[in-house]
Structure 1
């Protein structure tokens, strides 16, 4: 197995990409193999793994060639996302090893078999995809920070019912998009069926803290939901209070009219 260099790059670039279109784009040039949600492309020097949730993982690929292939993938991708990139270096362990070793950003692999690269690519792809979800949650929190600040200072909601309904609808769309793509963050079926590959996947997913980050992301989403619920309750209270006082004034007016009739 030959590599151009010792660089491994993980590039999130889209929400989705059709692997059949990926095959049509590259099958005349390289050896290809599909593994459910990922397409493996074997090059003369290096390997590409294209995940259907819009992530490319490269191992030892010529940077100039890699950029060319990424341009082709972007051309057939659906719903482009801001590009996010993680970079690592890799090498094979000198002695007979069965486990992955990680030293800073260097991955010391027990072997360079395609199955091993695939298992590791799953964890790397999930990590960079999770970054996209985390970024969207952070943006939502930041854009709504003024709401809690104003409420704390004035004790009243800084937005009206219509504006709040719009914000809640936007958040619902964001949350739905994230939940729909959550399937990409679970343990892949491929590695679960092969204990050695599963261990590689688990070791790397632990290193990039996948489980903890997913739990933290869920808490962030719940915090945003709680914030909107708080404002909805405050506005409902204000609305019902207004209706109550309106009713009291109306009844009082009617009674006075009847009294002095």
Structure 2
């Protein structure tokens, strides 16, 4: 996976390469019978508290096939998508094309109501659809303020070899771009996303993939390239199904970085305890560290939608859910979340042990204080008795 930490401002850093490998808890099944997909999760780790994330778990060159295109019922924007597909065929019949997919985690959450209002005011020509956890915008026309792909003034064309550009705004603070250039993504982040961020991140977390339209290759994911056929090219729900997995992966990367920071902050404590038999950290600071671990763990497992199958798939066609499941398989989301939770568990157990050690030390200290006070009291009483008999 190509990814990097992009400074909050300016938004002009190119993504770099880094591998993340961690397991999503068991996803709830839908009312429909869905054929279960096999996941390659049989991994073992000698340690979960290393400064480096486990390497080599997710094989980027592995081949994960995607479901073949099948006829789907009408969906929001389906008529427009069919028209765009016909336009693509007329412009470049039988052609293949490649484009960027870039996913940014920008904040803890986005204000959906404010976002929808801004889209309506600033970009009324964009086609928008609202789903659970996500707002979709199809950029059939882009405001002149946005640079075009050719570098000149103007808007995007209605259709290219890979179809119209799409943007997916996820409620949990992730934005996924399909078919835009980096400067165009940065402009949308500046003009729209910053205005609706809630608890923005100091640095954006970015994942980059390639979107490939092919008339000869079967749909699949390999080498961080998503290959689909021309029939699927303009269906925004196909892109949405894939984007759900990509957005969850990028959000999960943020938690991975946070747990690594917590590991670095606390990894010296067991060694200090082993060498000196005590930890010099104050009770208050230890309690604060325990609170940090609990907050991150609860955010991931209780408050975040990263760990759940999006509600969109509860009523979506089976083909879309299969696309999502295959993308999760390629991204190793289950494995990554499993290791992430294992790290949280080990951190929590270690800090609980240190807290118990401090409590026991404090209790032992209080016991010795009581013993000395009793000894002083006995000595004073002895002197009083001796004084009664005139011996002192």
Is TM > 0.5 for Structure 1 vs Structure 2? yes
Q: Is the 8 A contact 2:300 2:307 kept in 1?
A: no
Partner of 1:257: 380
Is residue 108 of structure 1 aligned with residue 227 of structure 2? yes
Is residue 52 of structure 1 aligned with residue 145 of structure 2? no
Report the CA distance between 1:256 and its aligned residue.
Answer: 2.9
Question: More helix per residue: 1 or 2?
Answer: 1
Q: Where does 1:16-165 land on structure 2 (aligned, <5 Å)? A: 16-27=109-120, 28-44=124-140, 45-71=164-190, 72-81=192-201, 82-95=203-216, 97=218, 100-110=219-229, 111-112=232-233, 113-165=235-287
DSSP-derived class of the 1:157 partner: coil
Of 228-237 and 142-151, more deviation after overlay is shown by: 142-151
Q: Distance in 1 between matches of 2:292 and 2:323?
A: 38
The count of corresponding residues between Structure 1 and Structure 2 is 259
Is residue 188 of structure 1 aligned with residue 310 of structure 2? yes
Q: Report 1 or 2 for greater relative contact order, CA contacts < 8 Å, sequence distance ≥ 6.
A: 2
Q: Is the 8 A contact 2:138 2:165 kept in 1?
A: yes
Report the CA distance between 1:140 and its aligned residue.
Answer: 0.9
Match of 2:342 among 199, 219, 222: 219
Q: Distance in 2 between matches of 1:59 and 1:4?
A: 13
Report the CA distance between 1:96 and its aligned residue.
Answer: 8.4
Is residue 178 of structure 1 aligned with residue 178 of structure 2? no
Q: Distance in 1 between matches of 2:337 and 2:288?
A: 27
Q: Is the 8 A contact 1:164 1:228 kept in 2?
A: yes
Unaligned runs of 5+ in 1: none
Of 77-86 and 62-71, more deviation after overlay is shown by: 62-71
Is residue 243 of structure 1 aligned with residue 388 of structure 2? no
DSSP-derived class of the 1:12 partner: strand
Q: Is the 8 A contact 2:98 2:211 kept in 1?
A: no
Report the CA distance between 1:249 and its aligned residue.
Answer: 1.9
DSSP-derived class of the 2:195 partner: helix
Q: Is the 8 A contact 1:13 1:80 kept in 2?
A: yes
Q: Distance in 1 between matches of 2:310 and 2:345?
A: 26
Larger Rg: 2
From the superposition, tell whether residues 84 and 31 of structure 1 become closer, same or farther in structure 2 (CA, over 3 Å).
Answer: same
Unaligned runs of 5+ in 2: 1-83, 89-95, 141-163, 386-392
From the superposition, tell whether residues 63 and 255 of structure 1 become closer, same or farther in structure 2 (CA, over 3 Å).
Answer: closer
Is residue 232 of structure 1 aligned with residue 355 of structure 2? yes
